[in-house]
Amino acid sequence: MFVSNRRKFFKRITGGLGGLVLTQVPFSENSLLSWLGNACAFAAIPNLSQVEARYYKKLPHLEVECQVCPRKCAVGDRERGYCGTRENRGGTYYTLVYGKPCSLAVDPIEKKPFFHYLPGSSALSFATAGCNMNCKFCQNWDISQVRPEQTENLDLPPKDLVRLAKDKGAPIIASTYSEPIIFYEYVYDTAKEGRKQGLRNVMITGGYIQQEPLTDLCKVLDAVKVDLKGFTEKYYKEVVHGELAPVLECLKGLKQAGVWHEIVYLMVPTLNDQERDLRAMCQWIVKELGPDVPLHFSRFMPMYLLKNLPPTPVSSLEKAHKIAKGAGLNYVYIGNVPGHPYEHTYCPNCDKILIGRMGYTILANNLKKDKCQFCGHPIPGVWR
C-alpha cells in the first residue's frame, strides 16, 4: 500500500495497524509532532538511509550474498534482496532503513505478548518497512509487505530513539510490528545505546535468522518473543514463505545464550491446528527448551490473504492448551480472547493465580521475590 501523503502517515501511527496508539496522543498532526518533541524530523518524501549492512560477503562481478537470514540472497549490483530493505551498490551492501521507522508507539509489554517479563511495564515500540517472510495472515502487511519508499518515515537514529523512550518514561524499547531481523543494524545499535542509558531491549520476531547475527544480537537483547508459526515445513513453505528449521535453531540459540524467550503460536483453523502437529511441537519445546518456556496459543482473526477462514474457535485453543499442559509445559496461555481464565499465570505447584490479567491490564501480582507468595515456588521470568 503506497502511503501518498503526510496525513495518512500520521493516521497510521496514531490509530492504525491493529490498534497501535501513541499513548495519550489524540489524532492530530500537531499533537504528534509535540509528542515526538525534538527527537526526530518528519520526512514528507521517501527517506532512505545509506548505512553499510552487516553480515554479507562480496562475490565476483560486484555481487554480494546477504548473511543475515537463511535466504542468503545473492544480490546483483543495483539490486535488492527478498526483504527489499537492503541494496547492493557497486559491490557494497547497504541497509536503507537504518534510523527510519515508519511505525512508533508506546505499548504495554503484555501486548507483545510477554507475560513473564516486567508485567505492567510500557515499551516504546518501533518498526521499519519490510520483512523476510510473507505470512498470509499478517496483521501488519501494509508495512511488512512493502518497500521503504512506500512508507513515510521518521528520521530517528538510535540515540534519539533511546532519548524518546526516556522522555516518555518507557523502561523498555521493543523492535516489533514488521520483522526486526531486516532492520538488524538499527535494532542492534539501538539496543546497545539503550543499555548504556539503563533501558531494557526486547525483540518480537519470526526467528528467521542465521546463527552468527543471532549470537551477536543476544549480547545486547534482554528478551525475545518468537512467533513459531507452525510445526511443519509444508506450512512454512505454503503459508509463511519461509522455513521451519532455522526458526527452531533460533529458539535453541536463545536458550543457549541465556536470553529470556517466549513463544507465540497463532492457530489458524484447518491449516496449523492438527493435534498431531501441536503434540509434536509441545514435545519438542519440552525436550529442547525446557518445561518453563511460556507458550501462547493465539486466536487467529481473518485478515490479509486469509479472509476466507473463520476466527479460531475458543474450543480449539483450549484443546491446544490441554495438549501443551499434558506434554509437561508449565506456563501455557490463550491469547486474543480477553477475559479467558488462561490469560492468567498460575503457579505450577499450588495452582493459584500469580499474575491476573484482563487483556493488557494487570489485575493482580502475587509474586514475592520472584516466587509464588502462597507456596514459595520459584517462577521463571524477568520480574524486576
Over residues 63-82, the pLDDT tens digits come to 999 999 999 999 999 999 99
Bridge partner residues of 94 (DSSP): 52, 87
The rounded percent of the chain whose pLDDT value lies above 70 is 88
Which residues are registered as beta bridge partners of 137? Answer: none
% pLDDT > 90, the chain: 88
Asked whether residue 187 is domain-assigned, the answer is: yes
Residue 7 burial class via C-beta count within 10 angstroms: exposed 0-12, middle 13-18, buried 19 and up: exposed
* 308 burial via Cβ count (<10 Å: 0-12, 13-18, 19+): exposed
> Is residue 251 assigned to a domain?
yes
Residue 382 near residue 222 (C-beta atoms within 8 A): yes
Band (58; pLDDT cuts 50, 70, 90): very high
The residue that leads in pLDDT, 32 or 204, is: 204
Residue 203 inside a domain? The answer is: yes
Within 10 A of 4 (CB to CB), how many other CB atoms are there? 10
Q: Is the pLDDT of residue 164 over 90?
A: yes
Residue at 26 is within a domain: no
The answer to the question of residue 98 being in a domain is no
Where on the phi/psi map is residue 37: left (φ > 0), alpha (ψ -120 to 50), or beta? left
Tens of pLDDT along 208-226? 999 999 999 999 999 999 9
Reply yes or no on whether the pLDDT at 43 is more than 90. Answer: no
Rounded Cα–Cα distance for residues 12 and 149 (Å): 16
d(CA 279, CA 281): 5
What is the pLDDT averaged over residues 52-71?
97
Inter-residue contact 245 to 208 (CB < 8 Å): no
The answer to whether position 53 is within a domain reads no
Exposure class string for 130-167: b at 16+ Cβ within 10 A, else e? bbbbbbbbbbbbbbbbbbbebbbbbebbbbbbbbbbee
| Residue 147 belongs to domain with CATH number | 3.20.20.70
Beta-carbon count within 10 A of 65 CB? 17
Alpha helices (H) along the chain = 6-15, 29-36, 141-144, 158-167, 184-196, 211-217, 233-235, 245-257, 275-288, 314-327
- Nearest-10 Cα torsion for 89, 93, 97, 98: -120
Mean pLDDT of all residues in the chain? Answer: 91
Q: Which SS3 state, helix, strand or coil, does residue 75 take?
A: strand
Counting the structural domains of the chain, the total is: 1
**pLDDT above 70 (res 297):** yes
DSSP 195-207: HHTT-EEEEEE--
**352, HSE (Cβ side, Cα atoms, 13 Å):** 13
| Residues 265, 300 contacting (CB under 8 angstroms) | no
**Dihedral pair phi/psi, residue 28, rounded to 5°:** -165, 145
For 318-355, give one letter per residue: b (16+ CB within 10 A) or e.
bbbbebbbebebbbbbbbbbeebebbbbbbbeeeebbb
The region of weakest confidence among 26-35, 291-300, 309-318 is 26-35
- Determine the average pLDDT of the residues in 145-159: 94
Residue 43 lies in a domain: no
Are the C-beta atoms of 258 and 290 separated by less than 8 Å?
Answer: no
Rounded to whole angstroms, what are the CA distances from 27 to 8, 34, 41? 11, 12, 18
What was the pLDDT predicted at 47?
74
* Residue 222 placed within a domain: yes
- Say yes or no to pLDDT of 28 above 60: no
Question: What gap in Å lies between CA 16 and CA 211, rounded to an integer?
Answer: 34
Domain carrying residue 124: 103-372
